[in-house]
């Protein structure tokens, strides 16, 4: 399995250049059965990362451009009456894919954004009183532009909390940007992409992530981190138990990618910013721009060798 995971990272890195850590975080989020929010300026490779990841894993993929006039039915689908059959038939929306790209999600109004809540939380959608199961695996990748851009809406806290991770790709370094300039067009590059994992293998990995060992010391470390966030100033949103569960599962996925069957404190630290930053920040600070101070300040206050020291 480790060879397969390495092949996935290598193939994605051949298209999304100079971002190995961000690629590994996105893959860890998928393996942990979470969803990811990618925030950055336009043209930084957010959409490319989503498409390459879907092709590399052999998953069905569809992109939806979120705009101010997008309706919930445009995301979930709609039932249409056929007079000849004398019955309603569901025309499925893009949500019925294994990888769903919600491009520029913060350009849609809150009502349309809320259409994703049930799907992301319960892997199902309700249309005209009928509940439909979504495919497995189901992975939402949403991209977001800075709130300073015209026509954007801040995501509500309830929706932000549904994203296991939030990352920012940032500008490439000089060497990577030179390779980007010299590379061929994206369609030509995509022609050579091949699935590196079978669907059954991917599902088996996701199911086995929970079996990785997390000792009592690791659980104490997570509890201490959550507790510290609840004792900070009023401008900091505290980490909920759901955030703690997301942190544990993301750390297990990272440990698996590091070829271990147990969680190490370094795994918690590796994913902490991506998992917790968007849950800690106040709304006015919703866009990252490489700012990791809020999450890091919490992380630095807990000693992984004696995490409950401040709680006793």
For residue 151, what pLDDT is reported? 60
Q: When comparing pLDDT for 204 and 291, which is higher?
A: 204
Would you state the pLDDT for residue 295?
A: 81
Q: Note the pLDDT of residue 211.
A: 93
Position 283 pLDDT exceeds 60 = no
Q: How many residues does the chain have?
A: 312
63 exposed, middle or buried (CB, 10 Å; 0-12, 13-18, 19+)? middle
* pLDDT of 305 above 80: yes
Global pTM reads: 0.86
71-124 pLDDT per residue, tens: 888 998 888 887 787 788 888 989 999 999 998 888 888 778 777 888 888 888
The answer to which of 92-96, 167-171, 248-252 has the lowest mean pLDDT is 167-171
Bridge partners (DSSP) listed for residue 142: 37, 102
Please tell me the distance from the alpha carbon of residue 139 to that of residue 137, in angstroms, as a whole number: 7
Angle between helices 241-257 and 265-280 (to 10 degrees): 140
* Span of 1-10, 191-200, 287-296 with lowest mean pLDDT: 287-296
Please return the burial class of 263, using the count of CB atoms within 10 Å of its CB with bins 0-12, 13-18 and 19+: buried
For residue 106, cis peptide bond before it (omega within 30 degrees of 0): no
Question: What's the rounded Cα separation, in Å, for the pair 125 and 134?
Answer: 7
pLDDT band of 138, cuts 50, 70, 90: very high
> Any residues with CB less than 8 A from the CB of 23 and at least 6 apart, and which?
9, 12, 13, 16, 49, 53
Question: Does residue 284 carry a pLDDT above 50?
Answer: no
d(CA 123, CA 137): 9
CA distance 195 to 147: 36
Cα of first residue to Cα of last residue in the chain, in angstroms, is 41
Q: What mean pLDDT is predicted for residues 231-238?
A: 74
Residue 175: which residues within 8 A CB-CB, separation 6 or more?
A: 18
Question: Going by C-beta distance under 8 Å and a sequence separation of 6 or more, which residues neighbour residue 56?
Answer: 8, 11, 12, 193, 194, 195, 196, 197
Continuous H helices in the chain: 2-15, 20-31, 46-57, 72-76, 110-113, 115-122, 157-160, 174-182, 186-190, 199-209, 216-229, 241-257, 265-280, 293-299
CA distance 16 to 180: 9
Residue 290's pLDDT band (boundaries 50, 70, 90)? very low
Residue 288 pLDDT class (50, 70, 90 cuts): very low
At residue 165, the 3 state secondary structure works out as: strand
Q: Cβ–Cβ contacts within 10 Å for residue 189, how many?
A: 14
Looking only at the bridges linking them, the beta strands covering 139-144 and 99-103 are parallel
pLDDT score recorded for residue 2: 76
Is 9:235 a contact under the CB 8 Å cutoff?
Answer: no
């Amino acid at each position: 399995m480790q060879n397969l995971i390495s092949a996935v990272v290598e193939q994605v890195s051949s298209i999304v250049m100079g971002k190995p850590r961000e690629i590994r975080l996105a893959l860890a989020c998928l393996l942990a059965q979470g969803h990811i929010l990618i925030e950055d300026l336009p043209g930084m490779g957010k959409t490319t990362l989503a498409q390459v990841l879907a092709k590399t894993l052999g998953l069905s993929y569809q992109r939806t451009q979120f705009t101010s006039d997008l309706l919930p039915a445009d995301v979930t689908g709609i039932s249409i009456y056929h007079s000849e059959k004398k019955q309603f038939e569901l025309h499925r929306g893009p949500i019925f894919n294994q990888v769903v790209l919600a491009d520029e999600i913060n350009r849609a109004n809150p009502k349309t954004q809320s259409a994703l809540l049930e799907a992301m939380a319960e892997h199902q959608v309700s249309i005209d009183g009928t509940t439909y199961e979504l495919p497995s695996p189901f992975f939402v990748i949403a991209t977001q532009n800075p709130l300073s851009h015209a026509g954007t809406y801040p995501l509500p806290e309830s929706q932000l909390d549904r994203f296991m991770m939030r990352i920012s790709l940032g500008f490439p370094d000089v060497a990577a940007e030179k390779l980007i300039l010299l590379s061929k067009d994206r369609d030509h590059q995509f022609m050579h992409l091949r699935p590196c994992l079978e669907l059954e293998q991917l599902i088996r990995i996701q199911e086995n992530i929970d079996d990785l060992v997390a000792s009592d010391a690791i659980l104490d470390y997570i509890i201490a981190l959550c507790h510290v966030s609840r004792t900070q100033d009023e401008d900091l949103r505290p980490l909920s138990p759901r955030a703690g569960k997301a942190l544990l599962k993301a750390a297990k996925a990272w440990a698996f990618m590091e070829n271990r069957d147990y969680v190490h404190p370094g795994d918690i630290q590796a994913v902490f910013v991506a998992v917790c930053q968007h849950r800690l920040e106040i709304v006015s600070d919703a866009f990252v721009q490489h700012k990791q101070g809020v999450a890091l300040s919490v992380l630095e206050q807990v000693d992984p060798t004696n995490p409950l020291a401040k709680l006793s």
